[in-house]
Amino acid sequence: MVSSRHTPAGKDKNKPMPESHRSALLRDAAKRRIGQLLRAAGRISQDELDKALAVQKERGGEIIDILFSLGCLQPNDLLDFLLTLPGLGPADFGHLDIGPELIGLISGEIARAYQVLPIDRHGRTVVFGCATVPDDAERARLEEIVGARVQLLQCTPEDVDAAIARYYPEEAADDEFASASSRTLEGLGAPLRLSRVARLVRRLTSLPALPETLHQVRAAVESLDSSVRSVADIISLDPPIAAKILSVANSAFYGFAQPIHDLVHAISLMGLRETYGIVLSTTVIDLVSKWKNLEYRSFWLESMCCAAAARICARASGRRGLPGIFAAGLLHDLGRAALLEIAPDACAKIDPGLTGHELLDAEERLIGLSHTEAGYELARQWGLPPEIAAPIRFHHDPMRATEAREHVAIISLADAMVYAVTDNYAENLHVFDEHQETLAFLGIDPEVTEAMLAEYLSRRQAAFDETSENR
């Protein structure tokens, strides 16, 4: 909670600030350029502000969310700063007397899904305390729910959680209220679920910005003046990334016939766009490997299995040079890592043998969201390209994809191949039973699937043997 040191001298901290005064001050603060104010107050540097503004120009989004994602600002720091603005009263929910007319504006389910709490009202404007600032679409949905304009005050997740538990105790909901909530949720459907995903994923404690090397490689690849040598020079300045590129190039999963010892040689064989995709995907996996609940080795091996299968499927479909397909395979199950970090106990209750829609159903039932939704939200926050983000979201429902459809279809088949359980390819053909439409979309003759599986299983075994020798 906010410390009492923020309470003006001579005033009773338990006495709420007048409604009109609080709302006017919040409106005033919202109109200011928060980034410039934070810089002027010394909470962020000019370099940090410039970097955040550059990301905003490229990807859009709220400047505060970007500063959080870059690690330049913490929620507590923002709240402390807001409380230093002239006349701004305490946002400590424990000291606010929130009446039933405000609490009744939203249901407990909505409050928990959006991580918000109505704390004030001024005419047709409702002020919400929020754990994370909703985007424009989410704000619009809140305004539709309450039938009024919405203003937001960023607060700590701990304060919001405590306040929601206080004002919306789950056990207190009667049947009539629960029914009304269900109707509201049913009306919102998937947008609400995705909003909840965003809230949960944003609360991951280790979501750092992608390293500068990655942005430099991307710029070089997109430049008309780029060359294999120039890209290699950039990567060589980051030895861990350079080592990872060579490791992938020399793995049985990737499938080069001869060992590759030179970075320039590896990049020339992979191609510039494929190299960028591998740099991107391996960087992301290295970042999530720091999450305490992830078994990195098994996650990496499964990711490489899918990436290898994706290359086989791409070639079988006549799309050998499809850029980014190996990277998409590496990151397709990014959301499973996120769920392990968000809800490890619930994940432990899911049958490890479940796949496809059965797995998604179990995740929805036990956690409230699927790994595809969680992974897509991570991809969105990191600004991953459509050829990676779309397969993450739709690899279990490839025909629903509206962009990067070829990538989605290939990763869907590759993911199915990962679940081949024996070394006899003929015994694993059933993995394609539910993918006939996808095979047809890609133009893959069903008779070719045996050869695809045989090659995949051979590569997988060689990679596993290679891994065992290196342990």
Q: What average pLDDT does range 359-379 have in this prediction?
A: 83
**Does residue 256 sit within a domain?**
yes
- State yes or no: pLDDT of 438 exceeds 90: yes
pLDDT, one tens digit per residue, over 165-183 is 888 875 444 443 334 334 4
Same domain assignment for residues 99 and 185? yes
Contact 235, 217 (CB under 8 A): yes
Closest alpha carbon to 397 in 376, 378, 425: 376
**Does residue 207 sit within a domain?**
no
pLDDT of residue 95: 53
pLDDT of residue 106: 86
pLDDT, one tens digit per residue, over 210-266 is 788 888 888 888 887 788 999 999 998 888 889 989 988 888 888 777 888 889 998
Interatomic CA distance for residues 392 and 115, integer angstroms: 25
Residues in the chain: 471
Interatomic CA distance for residues 132 and 129, integer angstroms: 9
pLDDT of residue 432: 86
CATH number at residue 461: 1.10.3210.10
Who has greater pLDDT, 373 or 84?
Answer: 373
Q: How confident is the model at residue 464 (pLDDT cuts 50, 70, 90)?
A: confident
- What type of residue sits at position 108? G
**Does residue 37 sit within a domain?**
yes
Number of helices (H) and strands (E) in the chain: give both, helices first: 26, 3
Same domain assignment for residues 92 and 237? no
pLDDT of residue 199: 57
Who has greater pLDDT, 265 or 85?
Answer: 265
Q: Write the burial class of residue 427 (CB in 10 Å: 0-12 exposed, 13-18 middle, 19+ buried).
A: exposed
pLDDT of residue 180: 39
Contact 154, 82 (CB under 8 A): yes
The two tokens of residue 85 are 């603005």
- State yes or no: pLDDT of 155 exceeds 60: yes
Q: How confident is the model at residue 88 (pLDDT cuts 50, 70, 90)?
A: very low
Write phi, then psi, for 341 (nearest 5 degrees). Answer: -80, -40
Closest alpha carbon to 325 in 339, 314, 334: 314
pLDDT-wise least confident of 82-86, 379-383, 442-446: 82-86
pLDDT-wise least confident of 114-123, 165-174, 256-265, 289-298: 165-174
Same domain assignment for residues 39 and 149? yes
pLDDT-wise least confident of 157-166, 400-409, 410-419: 157-166
Same domain assignment for residues 193 and 218? no
Same domain assignment for residues 139 and 189? yes
Q: How confident is the model at residue 92 (pLDDT cuts 50, 70, 90)?
A: low
pLDDT of residue 22: 41
Contact 102, 116 (CB under 8 A): no
Q: What average pLDDT does range 378-386 have in this prediction?
A: 84
Q: What percent of the chain has pLDDT over 90?
A: 14
pLDDT-wise least confident of 123-132, 334-343, 419-428: 419-428
pLDDT of residue 439: 94
Q: How confident is the model at residue 467 (pLDDT cuts 50, 70, 90)?
A: low
- State yes or no: pLDDT of 329 exceeds 90: yes
Domain of 33 in residue numbering reads as: 4-202
pLDDT of residue 15: 40
Same domain assignment for residues 228 and 129? no
Same domain assignment for residues 283 and 411? yes
Domain boundary among 162, 182, 202: 202
Strands 116-122 and 125-130, by their bridges, are antiparallel
Same domain assignment for residues 219 and 197? no
pLDDT of residue 158: 73
**Does residue 133 sit within a domain?**
yes
Question: What residues are paired with 349 via a beta bridge?
Answer: none
**Does residue 449 sit within a domain?**
yes
Same domain assignment for residues 229 and 362? yes
Q: How much of the chain is in helix, strand and coil states, percent to nearest 5?
A: 65, 5, 30
**Strands, E, within 187-262: which ranges?**
none
The two tokens of residue 444 are 């893959």
Q: Write the burial class of residue 296 (CB in 10 Å: 0-12 exposed, 13-18 middle, 19+ buried).
A: middle
- State yes or no: pLDDT of 278 exceeds 60: yes
Domain count, the chain: 2
Who has greater pLDDT, 309 or 150?
Answer: 309
Q: How confident is the model at residue 6 (pLDDT cuts 50, 70, 90)?
A: very low
Who has greater pLDDT, 313 or 423?
Answer: 313
**Does residue 162 sit within a domain?**
yes
Mean pLDDT in the chain? 77
Taking the whole predicted model, whether its pTM rises above 0.75 is answered as: no
Domain boundary among 174, 202, 230: 202
- State yes or no: pLDDT of 80 exceeds 60: no
Same domain assignment for residues 188 and 222? no
Who has greater pLDDT, 248 or 5?
Answer: 248
Same domain assignment for residues 169 and 226? no
The H or E element containing residue 69 is helix 63-69
Same domain assignment for residues 10 and 152? yes
pLDDT of residue 76: 55
Domain boundary among 176, 202, 228: 202
pLDDT of residue 67: 84
Q: What percent of the chain has pLDDT over 70?
A: 77
**Does residue 232 sit within a domain?**
yes
